Every structure is written in C-alpha cells, then in structure tokens.
Amino acid sequence: MLSTFSIVAADPAEREIGVAVQSKFLAVGAIVPWAEAGAGAIATQAWANTSFGPRALELLRAGEPPEQIVQTLIAPDENADDRQFGIVDARGRSASFTGARCISWAGGIAGDGFAAQGNCLAGAAVVDALAATFRSEPGTLADRLVEALAAGQREGGDKRGQQSAALVVVKPGGGYGGFNDRYVDLRVDDHAAPIDELARLLELHKLYHFPAAPEDVLAIDDRLGRELVAHLARIGALAHDEGPFGGDARDALIAFMHVENLESRVRADGTIDRQTMEYLRAFDTR
C-alpha cells in the first residue's frame, strides 16, 4: 500500500512534463511516476495499479483528455475504490482521482497545469500546500515540483513518516545527448530525509546537465581571467599561477571541466558561467 503524496505537472511553454512523489515506502520512484514527452504524466498510488501507467500514457498520446482517462482506467477495475492517481497532459489539462477506500486523509486537487494528491496524510493541508506552492513558486518545473513536495512535508506529509522520494521530468530530446526524453530522472530510495536529499541531487543534476541561463554567463575579463589562472594552478591543472587567461589556461580549464563532468558547460566565446566559476572556487584538492 503506497501511502503517498505526489504532484504531476506540465510546463507547455518549455515542453516539460513531470512527476514528484514522496512516501514512507521503499523506492517509491519505481512504482508511482510515469511520464512521456509530448503526451503527459500519471502518478499512480494508494493500492497502486501499475498498469495504469502505460495505459494512461497510451491514451494521453492519443489525445484523450485526463478527465476521460480517469473513467477509462477505473471502469473495468473492480478495486478502483482502493486506487489514487493524478494525470496531466502536455497542454496542462489535469485530473485527480481518489477511491473511496483510500486511507484517510486522502484527496486531491486538479488545477491548470497540475494535479496534486495524497493518501494516509496528516491532513488536507498537505495537498493544499502542494498545490499552492506549485502555483506560486518560481524557477524550472523541476524546482517547483521539489519545492511543492517540501511544502507538503512541512504540513505533515505521509503521517507514517518519510522514506523515499523521486522526481521525473521529460521533454523532447531532453535526455543525455538528446537521445531520449529523460530530462531529469532522480530517485532517493531509502533515506531519513528523502525530499532534502532529492533537492540536493537536483542541484547537482542542474549543474551537470542544465544549460546556463543568460544572466549566469560571465565575460572572462582581465580580473576574472587572472582568478581562473590562480585557481587552475591551485588545483594542479596549470603550471603557473599568474598572468592573463591565455591558450594554456583555456586548455587546462576545458580539460578540468571534462574530468569533472562539466563538459556541457564548456564555452568557446570567451565566457564562463557562474556555476562553473563557483565550482572551481570551491574545489578542494584533498
């Protein structure tokens, strides 16, 4: 029984669709979230019917609206009263279903671009916080989903406690190398504070895989160039620690970034992003 709270959501402008979930259950990310770029997402929980995942994605792919998908899924299911799920499509249409036998407190909210739901919760305030935080939080879809989980947890979350959490965000060509749609796929399978750990992993994922925002791109002027040279020498990537940022230093910086899995942030236009600069400043050679 997945006593769980989750949120499914879409950002049509960015062509992103995602699911975030937390539960007092081992490896909740292996069961609840299902998502496909260009189609939509479903979180299936309570006494989860995992066949709802691929079936819902097939129906979303065909353009069936979430409200109709709810009826299509529960009609043949003799245990529908034990199920709970939320659905969103790529356009932001949504629906949430809670069966009559789900463990109290149980319920959901479907709004423009999201569906939030949970069962065996501390109270209705958990789902209210999921919805309100998602609506008001700035940032990427991934940021907003994790912040919504954290807000739900602050209201008591799963009344049995915490154990695992997961975040999936899909977008066309969003996966590594552009070969699939898995823009973010993070799981915390067993942890005392899984949402906090999920947030930490998301920040690492953004560092390694998200493109730099325009406001984070810095021109390598003389001051910044000399700082770069000093840092590269400090970490043993460059033989000298003074002077302008020239060809040797540029090659050393690129080599360092490849070793540290920052290759997606390598720039050839005389600039560096703020995140790479902060990473280099904090780099510990011990």
Q: Clarify whether residues 57 and 198 are in a common domain.
A: yes
Same domain, 176 and 275: no
In total, how many domains does the chain have? 2
> What is the phi/psi pair of residue 205, to 5°?
-60, -45
- Residue 125 sits in the same domain as residue 254: no
Q: What residues contact residue 139 under an 8 Å CB cut-off, 6+ apart?
A: 147
Cβ proximity of 217 and 271 under 8 Å: yes
Q: Which residues of the chain register pLDDT less than 50?
A: none
**Residue 253: domain span:** 214-282
Q: Token pair of 53, please?
A: 């995942």
Are both 120 and 21 inside the same structural domain?
Answer: yes
The pLDDT of residue 285: 75
Q: Given this model, what pLDDT does residue 31 score?
A: 97
What pLDDT shows up at residue 25? 95
Burial zone of 177 (CB within 10 Å; 0-12 exposed, 13-18 middle, 19+ buried): exposed
- Measure the CA–CA gap between 273 and 69, rounded to whole angstroms: 44
pLDDT tens profile 54-85:
999 999 999 999 999 999 999 999 999 999 99
- Asked if 218 and 198 sit in the same domain, the reply is no
H or E stretch at 152: helix 141-154
What's the pTM? 0.92
